[in-house]
Amino acid sequence: MRGAVLLALCALGCAPKAVRVGSKNFTEGVILGEVAARACAAGGAVTEHRRQLGGTAVLWRALRSGEIDAYPEYTGTLASELLRGVDARDLRGMRRALAREGVAMTAPLGFNNTYAIGVPEALASARGLRTLSDLQREPGLALGLSHEFLDRADGWAGLRARYGLPQRDVRGMDHDLAYRALSSGAIQATDLYTTDAEIAWHRLRVLSDDREYFPEYSAVLLYRADLPRRSPSCARALESLGGSLDAATMIDLNDQVKRRRRTESSVAAAWLEAHRGLRSAVASEGRAERVWQRTREHLAMVLSSLLAAVLCAVPLGVAAAKRPRLGTLVLGAAGVLQTVPSLALLVLLIPLLGIGAAPAVAALFLYSLLPIVQNTVAGLRGISPALRESAEALGLPPFARLRLVELPLALPSILAGVKTAAVINVGTATLGAMVGAGGYGQPILRGIRLDSTSTIMEGALPAAALALLTQALFACIERVAVPRSLRGGR
Amino acid sequence: MTAHGPTAASLVGVMKRYGGAVALGPIDLDVPVGRTTVLLGPSGCGKSTLLRLINGLIAPDEGTLRVLGEGVTPASVEALRRRVGYVIQEGGLFPHLSARQNVALLPRWLRWETPRIDARVAELAALARLPEALLDRHPGELSGGQRQRVALMRALALDPEMLLLDEPLGALDPMVRAELQRDLREVFRTLGKTVVLVTHDLREARHFGDLVVLLRDGRVVQRGPLSALESAPSEGFVRDFLDAWREAP
Concatenating the DSSP letter of every residue in A351-374 gives HHH-SSHHHHHHHHHHHHHHHHHH
Q: Please, what is the Cα angle at A135 between A133 and A140, to 5 degrees? A: 160
CB contact under 8 A, A390 and B105: no
Which residues in chain B are closer than 8 Å to A397, comparing Cβ atoms? 78
CB contact under 8 A, B78 and A395: yes
* Start-end of H helices in A277-323: 287-322
CB contact under 8 A, B78 and A485: no
pLDDT score at A321: 92
CB atoms under 10 Å from CB of A123, counted, come to: 17
CA distance A40 to A18: 10
Question: pLDDT category, A5, cuts 50, 70, 90?
Answer: very low
In tens, the pLDDT along A430-442 reads 988 888 888 999 8
Which of A405-409, B10-14, B232-236 ranks highest by mean pLDDT? A405-409
CA distance A434 to A437: 7
| Partner-chain residue, chosen from B92, B96, B140, that has the shortest CB–CB distance to A408 | B96
Q: Which residues of A touch B (CB under 8 A)?
A: 386-387, 389-397, 400, 404-405, 408-409, 411, 483-486, 490
Q: How buried is A246 (Cβ within 10 angstroms: 0-12 exposed, 13-18 middle, 19+ buried)?
A: middle
Q: Please, what is the Cα angle at A362 between A357 and A367, to 5 degrees? A: 125
Residue of B nearest to A400 (CA): B109
Which residues in chain B are closer than 8 Å to A490, comparing Cβ atoms? 95
pLDDT score at A316: 94
- For chain B, the structural domain boundaries read 1-33+210-249, 85-195
CB contact under 8 A, A485 and B106: no
User: Taking 50 as the threshold, does the pLDDT of residue A1 lie above it?
Assistant: no
CA distance A373 to A331: 7
B182 has a chain A CB within 8 A of its CB: no
What's the helix, strand, coil split of chain A in %, to 5? Answer: 65, 10, 25
What's the helix, strand, coil split of chain B in %, to 5? Answer: 40, 25, 35
Of residues A448 and A217, the one with the higher pLDDT is A217
Of residues A36 and A279, the one with the higher pLDDT is A36
Mean pLDDT confidence for B12-20:
85
CB pairs under 8 A between A and B: 66
CB atoms under 10 Å from CB of A268, counted, come to: 27
Which residues in chain A are closer than 8 Å to B93, comparing Cβ atoms? 390
CB contact under 8 A, B93 and A409: no
SS3 B134: helix
Question: pLDDT category, B147, cuts 50, 70, 90?
Answer: very high
CA distance B28 to B63: 9
DSSP letters spanning B165-232: EESTTTTS-HHHHHHHHHHHHHHHHHHT-EEEEEES-HHHHHHH-SEEEEEETTEEEEEE-HHHHHHS
Which residues in chain A are closer than 8 Å to B94, comparing Cβ atoms? 387, 390-391, 405, 408-409
B161 has a chain A CB within 8 A of its CB: no
Q: Residue A409 in contact with residue A379, Cβ under 8 Å?
A: yes
Of residues B224 and B44, the one with the higher pLDDT is B224
Residues in contact with A43: Cβ distance below 8 Å, sequence separation at least 6, in sequence order: A233, A234, A236, A237
Nearest-Cα distance to chain A for B88, in Å, is: 8
User: Taking 80 as the threshold, does the pLDDT of residue A483 lie above it?
Assistant: no
CB contact under 8 A, A400 and B96: no
Interface of B with A in 212-241 (CB under 8 A): none
pLDDT score at A15: 45
DSSP letters spanning A382-450: TS-HHHHHHHHHTT--HHHHIIIIIHHHHHHHHHHHHHHHHHHHHHHGGGGGGGT--STHHHHHHHHHH
Question: pLDDT category, A105, cuts 50, 70, 90?
Answer: very high
How much is the mean pLDDT over chain B? 87
CA distance B57 to A280: 78
| Partner-chain residue, chosen from B92, B106, B109, that has the shortest CB–CB distance to A387 | B92
| Partner-chain residue, chosen from A389, A400, A405, that has the shortest CB–CB distance to B94 | A405
B90 has a chain A CB within 8 A of its CB: yes
Residues in contact with A443: Cβ distance below 8 Å, sequence separation at least 6, in sequence order: A290, A294, A455, A456, A458, A459
Which residues in chain A are closer than 8 Å to B97, comparing Cβ atoms? 408, 483
Which residues in chain A are closer than 8 Å to B82, comparing Cβ atoms? 394-395
Of residues A214 and B20, the one with the higher pLDDT is A214
Q: Residue A218 in contact with residue A32, Cβ under 8 Å?
A: no
Q: What percent of chain A has pLDDT over 90?
A: 48
In tens, the pLDDT along A279-332 reads 877 776 677 888 888 999 999 999 999 999 999 999 999 999 988 898 889 889
Question: pLDDT category, A407, cuts 50, 70, 90?
Answer: very high
pLDDT score at A176: 73
B58 has a chain A CB within 8 A of its CB: no
pLDDT score at A130: 92
pLDDT score at B243: 80
Which of A205-209, B134-138, B175-179 bottoms out in mean pLDDT, i.e. has the lowest? B175-179
The CATH classification of domain B85-195, taken from the options 3.30.1540.10, 3.40.50.920, 3.30.1330.60, 3.40.50.300: 3.40.50.300
CB contact under 8 A, B81 and A395: yes
Which residues in chain B are closer than 8 Å to A405, comparing Cβ atoms? 94
Q: What is the DSSP letter of A107?
A: P
CB contact under 8 A, A485 and B79: no
Which residues in chain A are closer than 8 Å to B139, comparing Cβ atoms? 485
Which of A416-430, B6-20, B205-219 ranks highest by mean pLDDT? A416-430
Nearest-Cα distance to chain A for B152, in Å, is: 12
Side-chain half-sphere of A56: how many Cα atoms within 13 Å?
Answer: 11
CA distance A291 to A52: 18
Question: pLDDT category, B2, cuts 50, 70, 90?
Answer: very low
Cα–Cα distances (Å) from A141 to A172, A186, A445, in that order, read 15, 10, 37
CB contact under 8 A, A393 and B80: no
CA distance A187 to A184: 8
pLDDT score at A277: 83
pLDDT score at A488: 54
Q: What percent of chain A has pLDDT over 70?
A: 95
pLDDT score at B4: 56
Nearest-Cα distance to chain B for A464, in Å, is: 34
Which of A259-268, A359-368, A369-378 bottoms out in mean pLDDT, i.e. has the lowest? A259-268
Which residues in chain A are closer than 8 Å to B96, comparing Cβ atoms? 408-409, 411, 483, 485-486
Residue B154, φ and ψ in degrees, nearest 5: -65, -40
CB contact under 8 A, A485 and B105: no
Of the residues B88, B96, B156, the best mutation for testing chain A's interface (the one with the most A CB atoms within 10 Å of its CB) is B96
pLDDT score at A446: 84
pLDDT score at B247: 67
Mean pLDDT confidence for A388-394:
90
> Exposure pattern of A61-84 as b/e (b: 16+ CB <10 Å)?
bbbbeebbbbbbbbbbbbbeebbe
User: Taking 80 as the threshold, does the pLDDT of residue A490 lie above it?
Assistant: no
How many whole angstroms from its chain centre is CA B171?
Answer: 15
Bridge partners of A131, per DSSP, are: A208
Which domains are assigned to chain A?
15-111+217-276 (3.40.190.10), 115-206 (3.40.190.120), 287-486 (1.10.3720.10)
CA distance A135 to A455: 41
User: Taking 50 as the threshold, does the pLDDT of residue A274 lie above it?
Assistant: yes
CB contact under 8 A, A483 and B138: yes
CA distance A340 to A373: 18
Which residues in chain B are closer than 8 Å to A478, comparing Cβ atoms? none
CB contact under 8 A, A387 and B94: yes
Q: Which amino acid is at B106?
A: L
Question: pLDDT category, A8, cuts 50, 70, 90?
Answer: very low
User: Taking 80 as the threshold, does the pLDDT of residue B118 lie above it?
Assistant: yes
Question: pLDDT category, B21, cuts 50, 70, 90?
Answer: confident
User: Taking 90 as the threshold, does the pLDDT of residue A425 lie above it?
Assistant: yes
User: Taking 50 as the threshold, does the pLDDT of residue A489 lie above it?
Assistant: no
Interface of B with A in 96-115 (CB under 8 A): 96-97, 105-106, 109
User: Taking 80 as the threshold, does the pLDDT of residue A70 lie above it?
Assistant: yes
Question: pLDDT category, A14, cuts 50, 70, 90?
Answer: very low
CB contact under 8 A, A395 and B141: no
CB contact under 8 A, B106 and A389: no
Question: pLDDT category, A27, cuts 50, 70, 90?
Answer: confident
User: Taking 90 as the threshold, does the pLDDT of residue A26 lie above it?
Assistant: no
How much is the mean pLDDT over chain A? 87
